[in-house]
Structure 1
């Protein structure tokens, strides 16, 4: 009996040691897997309020690499295949789209024409921008992987507009279950989201396209440009978007950080409030515009990373080449014509009141505040009092604050076409007409471009409108900035794009 007990004891001990060894091996394997896990940390400027792909946050959802649209715009702003592998146009209002056949949503469900139709229908229901861009009258499923789209009127820009983030493709059958964990098709899927703090995404192992080289990405939301830069310099993040231009010389001396630039379709501008008594008068807008030192701003504020702006659309676009050779009158001559008198104090006076204005700026784009300070100083020397006011949310402030002028920045041709921006920014009935500008002639031309399919004619109409806008001056266009990212030297594949929503891509690599 004692002998059997000894053998039993030996067996138990050996079994225990074997189990321990197995546990050690498993732990070692997990440790190896963890050590081989590739991560990427990046700082973005803006935090979405939520991750609803069809709400107002679609741009930020797209930037996170978790979402895709039917069409992508390449670096030449030409429509290229994405979730749609091909397309054809039957007539001025009818388009056939052929879908990729091997795409899975993040929940493993196959993407097909029915689900794409349901996604587009939710986009149209939820997002006014999608409705304005697509102008769809019919979405018809032809088979599992093809759709017919019919527009209400001729819409020559439809294919390009299908690249807009408002048209992100989602499995909408489950989207309301958790709006901060949408079921999409991108190379990454949502792991955790904390508004104003971070978004954690992980590689989608069954992604249909090029597999990601990164397993997990942490996107930190840091609205202040200088704080983003400090996080990059300290190695807290591997890369950062929207690097403050005035800090570029400092970064260029840092061997561990590279500056990455690309031409953009963005325009930095200054708005005039047509509801402000001072700027109801066109001569007052002309006087301010004549004093803006655009070339100096490009060189001193933008460090040469941009070009002087003469219209809403950059010169690289076929509808953006505006002739600005006409010599501008000086501020004093314009104000004298408007009935102002410059007193011995140096200030311009009229009816016992000084020429005094309030100007808004905001911290998310630090270069705009520097521009505002230059404009303020120039106008002060010219005898005009400018009070700068910094606000956290510029779009909200334009609706609720008292203001006369405001710094602003817009991606004006985000689908490579002028139609959408002209509609939202200049049509008298648009809620996004932030300058409160009214022009019956512009409204007519906008409606004409909306129904015009010939591209040359569309470009001509856009150029005609811009010449009229420059006459009326609802805004002063200052700079076409370059997009500036910063990345540590061991990072590759994180490159700016003229269209500002292709940030996180599968090709990002950290050595």
Structure 2
């Protein structure tokens, strides 16, 4: 059976499963050197790994690929850290603790001053030494080119001497360490031709880019001069396969050896431990919905509260997508006040009463409520390449109809432009809310008035004041208390719809070693990845 036929049958089977699931919901309530550029496929390039001493190669499927490979632009640094191409000064380990990377030590001198010692012996992929001055220039480049740079690191000045880097911030900034670990600040050699960084970044990781095809794949090889010792694996092809089911089928067919974020409905295909290894963990990702508060219905807090009571988060998690029903923006795996906040339970009768009291009635008997002659019909946008989003959106559509709200769904390959332009009523996606190991970053970027990703237009000045307190509060427990206070304000306003905390996984052939899932999913591969010969 060929690959296309198997994919068709799998998608058909998945569709049948979805019909049963939704029926149940309704009844319940509800190029540089040495690389072959001939165009030969990565699979045919793969060497015979059964012969000792032969070069080893892996084909890896990525669920997301940025606009290019320049880490200073957009969110592209995430690709470089996932592919073990780029590194930051410090990094989070599998236990969410900050560990040394390019910087081997650091100290906070005072509330605005930090000192980093740049590890001796680190070189860029072109062989140039990584000095404090090189790090300074790299960070300055990211601050200049990326619109979120200054708000992520509000730097007043940097000084470099030998291997010593001193950073002064414009204000007391307690979250600096976690923020500087964000892949926006992958360290690159700015003395190289930076105009080529979109396809050939010169970074410090255990693998270096040999070729790049936009929206398709990255070819890498091990960097022999890597400061922590050269990788065992010789080369990799990292393929962009955005659809969850397609990634699973590519792994099953043998087209790829490692796949990240395989859809939950297809994990059963890989239960044979003699053939595959599954590493699935609770993630720091929260699946949630932006409300566009410019919509006249969604500007009414009673409608938002009704929607919040009208969906069954626990059922979505337990039955449809795994994980845990969401309470607020941060998962229970993060110590940011989860136990101190009150979220929304599934109470459809309460949702109906809220709408009744607010004057939303179904006057024509079609099942959809109206007010002032306007039906509550809302557009939800989503990316259907992500299986969990598609499944949850369909279930939400069914349950909200039961309380008298019509939900129309529109899917796009990329939601970014539509979110930024306000071209939506509701937008469903998921974000990693723990990317800096601290609550400040996410609260600053998603919930503060006028924030870059506050695309729904939510504003609460009291919330802004609480978030601002985080900037200068260095006591950890007080920071977490402030985070809990901020979350409760967001929930009381029903400003967003928090749905599930989704699990994440990496699935590999049993011959692959070192494919480990990190809670922060901008890490994926490192120098330990290898294949048995």
Q: TM-score, normalized by length of structure 1?
A: 0.89
What SS does structure 1 have at the residue aligned with 2:219? strand
Paired residues for 1:293-332 under 5 Å? 293-302=312-321, 304=322, 306-321=323-338, 322-324=340-342, 330-332=350-352
The 3-state SS of whatever aligns with 2:527 is coil
Instruction: Quote the Cα distance in structure 2 between the aligned partners of 1:368 and 1:80.
Output: 33
| Structural mapping, 1:293-372, within 5 Å | 293-302=312-321, 304=322, 306-321=323-338, 322-324=340-342, 330-343=350-363, 344-372=365-393
Give secondary structure in 2 for the equivalent of 1:324.
coil
Q: 2:228 aligns with which of 200, 209, 212?
A: 209
Contact 2:336 2:484 in 1 (8 A): yes
**In the alignment, is the contact (CA less than 8 A) between 2:343 and 2:491 conserved in 1?**
no
Separation of aligned partners in 1, 2:401 and 2:521? 36
SS of the aligned residue for 2:430 comes to strand
Q: Does 1:286 align with 2:308?
A: no
Larger Rg: 1
1:95-494 aligned at under 5 Å gives the runs 95-142=114-161, 144-179=162-197, 180-252=199-271, 256-302=275-321, 304=322, 306-321=323-338, 322-324=340-342, 330-343=350-363, 344-400=365-421, 402-494=423-515
Give the deviation of 1:367 after TM superposition: 0.7
CA deviation map 1:42-87 (0-9, x unaligned): 1101222211121111111221111111101122222111111111
Q: Secondary structure at the match of 1:279?
A: coil
Contact 2:367 / 2:401 at 8 angstroms: preserved in 1? Answer: no
CA distance in 2, matches of 1:352, 1:253: 58
Q: 1:165 to 1:175 in 2, by over 3 A?
A: farther
Structure 1: give runs of 5+ residues left out of the alignment. 1-29
CA distance in 2, matches of 1:227, 1:257: 17
CA–CA separation in structure 2 for the residues paired with 1:398 and 1:148: 38
2 CA distance for matches of 1:31 and 1:225?
Answer: 28
Structure 1 residues 216, 421: CA separation in 2 closer, same or farther (over 3 Å shift)? same
**1:14 corresponds to which residue?**
none
Q: CA deviation at 1:299?
A: 1.3
CA shift for structure 1 position 127:
2.1
Query: Conserved in 2, the CA contact under 8 Å of 1:311 and 1:320?
Result: no
Alpha-carbon distance, 1:109 to partner: 0.8
Distance in 2 between the 1:323 and 1:134 partners? 29
Measured against aligned partners, the alpha-carbon deviations of 1:411-436 in whole angstroms (never above 9, x if no partner) come to: 11201011111111112122321221
Distance of aligned partners of 1:430 and 1:175 in 2 relative to their CA distance in 1, 3 Å threshold: farther
Query: 1-side partners of 2:273 and 2:379: how far apart?
Result: 39
* TM-score, normalised by the number of residues in structure 2: 0.86
> Structure 2 vs 1, CA of residues 331 and 227 (structure 1 numbering), >3 Å: closer, same or farther?
same
Q: CA 1:184–1:34 in structure 2 vs 1: closer, same or farther (change >3 Å)? A: farther
**Alignment of 1:510 onto 2:510:** no
Aligned to 1:8: none
Query: Considering only aligned residues, what root-mean-square deviation do their CA atoms show, in Å?
Result: 2.0
Aligned to 1:46: 64
| SS state at 2:187 partner | coil
Q: Aligned pair in 2 of structure 1 residues 166, 334: CA closer, same or farther (>3 Å)?
A: same
Aligned residues: 479
Look up the SS of the partner of 1:368 in the other structure.
helix
* Structure 2 CA distance for partners of 1:55 and 1:402, relative to 1, 3 Å: closer
Deviation at 1:34? 10
**Contact kept in structure 2, 1:492 and 1:509, CA below 8 Å:** yes
1: CA distance, partners of 2:287 / 2:97: 24
Asked if the contact 2:222–2:234 (Cα under 8 Å) also holds between the matched residues in 1, the reply is: yes
Please report how far the alpha carbon of residue 451 of structure 1 lies from its aligned counterpart in structure 2 after TM superposition: 2.6
- Give the 3-state SS of the residue equivalent to 1:89 in structure 2: strand
Describe the superposition over 1:442-499 as per-residue Cα deviations: whole angstroms up to 9, x where unpaired: 1222222223222222211111110000011121111111112221121121111011
| Whole-angstrom CA distance in 2 between matches of 1:502 and 1:68 | 10
Write the deviation string for residues 134-188 of structure 1: whole angstroms up to 9, x where unpaired. 211121123x211111111111221222211111111101142412111111101
2:205 and 2:223 in contact (8 A); partners too = yes
Instruction: Specify the SS of the correspondent of 1:115.
Output: helix
Residues 208-217 or 187-196, more deviating? 208-217
CA positional deviation for 1:208? 0.8
* 1:17 aligned partner: none
